[in-house]
Amino acid sequence: MRLLAACALVLGVALGWPSSVVASPGDEVRIDTGRIKGVVSGKVVAFKGIPFAAPPVGDLRWRPPQPAPSWTGVRSAAEYAADCMQLPFPSDAAPLGTKPAEDCLYANVWKPAASASEKLPVLVWIYGGGFVNGGSSPEVYSGAKFAERGVLFVSFNYRVGRFGFFAFPALTNEAADGPVGNYGYMDQIAALQWVQRNAAAFGGDPHNVTLFGESAGGRSVLALMASPMAKGLFQKAVIESGGGRDSVLGERPLKDTVGGGPPSGEAVGVAFAKKMGIAGTDAAALAALRALPAEKIVNGLNMATMFDPTYGGPLLDGKVVAEPTEMAFRRGHQAKIPIMIGANSMDIGFSMATTMDQVLAPFGGAADKARAAYDPQGTNNVRAVGSVVAADGMMVEPARFVVRLLTAAGVPAFEYRFSYVAESMRKQWPGAPHATEIPFVFDTVAAKYGKDLTSPDEATAQAANAYWVEFAKSGDPGSAGGPRWPRYDPAKDELLNFTASGPVAQADAWKTRLDLTESLAAAGKH
């Protein structure tokens, strides 16, 4: 019965939840599981640590999320609950604000204080962290500025690392025909279903939901756009540095496939069990795995160690991820909804090259053209050029790839490049590194840069936040934050570039090098 209830939650089957809820004024709201009391700060009310599913602990480890229990009386929603179990990464751009724990499936909501009866657009955030780190508690993820501008903002936690993405033969058998392995994605779907059931209680419109995320969060948005189990749960999407091609960020097969390939999710899970001294693949072995302390499941895994062969990441499970995400987009199987997508000017990429010849070798006969495009000053700086080539392959060109596919399908699509660097960091960063757009999008730059914050930093944050808000409201970022953001047209190849001089609508200056990178992807060299 527990498994049936879990699958019902993930699949959206009616479980006796209220079919409708009414918005409540002030800092007290009734949702489907009980009353909660938030905290008023200025023109915003924040509700934190709201359970959207049952704690995934004990026998519920590695099971789909199940309904959160109801409570009587009024539950305090004044503080963040624990972020999901992990080993924090010391250099994380968004350090956690709580101590991680396995009991972590909680949501947070920010709403305008004076919006009791309005149908506010809803903006739902998915954090990044390589699927092994991250949480909703970092200060830069506060939704207060979005709420001040008339948006109902929701964030939530989802399981990461081996808690969120894990396969094992006994798990597959236990699940029968239900979803298995992608528990982190299932948490995301459960959170979106919670939004559908409860947005109106906070004054939000469940029919105007925009899902957005960065890095692994952006990849999650793409996966959910393609997932049959997330159909209809959101109407717009924003992908920040989330890739778009499977060659770099693809899903691992659940089971071993004919003809080889990477180790399957189940093989990775068996390898982890052996590392823990657990033999076999049956129910007894699974019970032993579930009995391990949470710290043993983490086993040193974070963004510095995420390529550990006993961790597999997202899986091609046939249910949540029914087909490779890139293939789903190529076939037009994804949700045909308006999107914004882009990457940063010094985004992330991994190059193992030790010479310029190695950097340029994949380009073959176009190596000289690639050298001119990627190293126009003739620096022969292997590390710098290699990183740019890798970032184009991992983040920048895949964003253009996705926006072109959606445009060809007649879907409104908008591309950006985030090139703005906080003034205090310009001597250290020649471009905008991965994730540095986040405090600008959230307009939380004061929390990020403190006393080093400048007026241009604040102006860029206000502009970026305004564009994201306008997209959440209307599906078109328009000109809320400055110049009009053009809808993507492959003939013009225009995007909105957040520069040191402010947002600029322009033809992509990197077209030549991205065309070269696209040719590598077409040849299977990325």
All domains of the chain in start order, with CATH: 2-247 (3.40.50.1820), 338-395+418-522 (no CATH)
DSSP annotation of 320: S
> What pLDDT is stored for residue 525 in this prediction?
63
Residue 216 burial (CB count, 10 A):
27
Q: Kind of pairing, strands 44-51 and 74-76?
A: unpaired
Which pLDDT score is estimated for 117? Answer: 60
Residue pointed to by tokens 């950006």: 416
Angle at 389 between CA 463 and CA 498, to 5 degrees: 10
Other CB atoms within 10 Å distance of the CB of residue 185: 29
Largest CA distance in the chain: 71
Give how far the C-alpha of residue 283 lies from the chain's centroid of Cα atoms, to the nearest Å.
33
Single-letter amino acid code for the residue at 102: E
Q: Give Cα separations from 108 to 37, 91, 339, 372, 444 (angstroms).
A: 12, 25, 24, 48, 17
User: pLDDT per residue over 64-104, tens digit each?
Assistant: 999 999 999 999 999 999 999 999 999 999 999 999 999 99
SS (H, E, C) 490-513: CCCCEEEEEECCEEEEEECCCHHH
d(CA 464, CA 481): 6
Residue appearing with tokens 């999650």: 220
Q: Which residue, 160, 166, 163, is CA-closest to 136?
A: 160
Please check whether residue 30 is in contact with residue 201, taking contact to mean a CB–CB distance below 8 angstroms.
yes
Cβ atoms of 163 and 84 within 8 Å: the answer is yes
Q: Where are the alpha helices (DSSP H) in 261-340?
A: 265-275, 283-290, 294-298, 325-330
Look at residue 220 and give its three-state secondary structure.
Answer: helix
Q: How far apart are CA 404 and CA 492, in angstroms?
A: 12
- The C-alpha atoms of residue 361 and residue 102 are separated, in whole angstroms, by 45
- Classified as helix, coil or strand, 405 is helix
Percentage of the chain lying above the pLDDT 90 cut: 90
pLDDT for 114 equals 83
Interatomic CA distance for residues 178 and 195, integer angstroms: 23
Query: What is residue 84's DSSP assignment?
Result: B
496 and 486 Cβ atoms separated by less than 8 Å: yes
Q: Enumerate residue ranges in the chain where pLDDT < 50.
A: 1-22
| CB distance 344 to 421 below 8 Å | no
The beta-strand segments (E) located in 287-382 are 315-316, 339-344
What's the CA gap between 329 and 456, in Å, rounded?
A: 38
Residue 483 buriedness (CB in 10 A; 0-12 / 13-18 / 19+): middle
Record the pTM.
0.94
pLDDT of residue 34: 98
Name the amino acid, one letter, at 379.
Answer: T
Helix (H, G, I), strand (E, B) or coil at 306: coil
The phi, psi pair for 7, rounded to 5°, reads -65, -35
Place of tokens 């602990």: 57
Torsion of CA 493, 498, 503, 507, to 10 degrees: -20
Contacts of 441 (CB under 8 A, 6+ apart): 240, 461, 464, 465, 468
- Looking at residue 118, its amino acid is E
Beta strands 28-31 and 34-37 are antiparallel
Pairwise CA distance, residues 82 & 257, whole Å: 38
d(Cα 503, Cα 486) in Å, to the nearest integer? 12
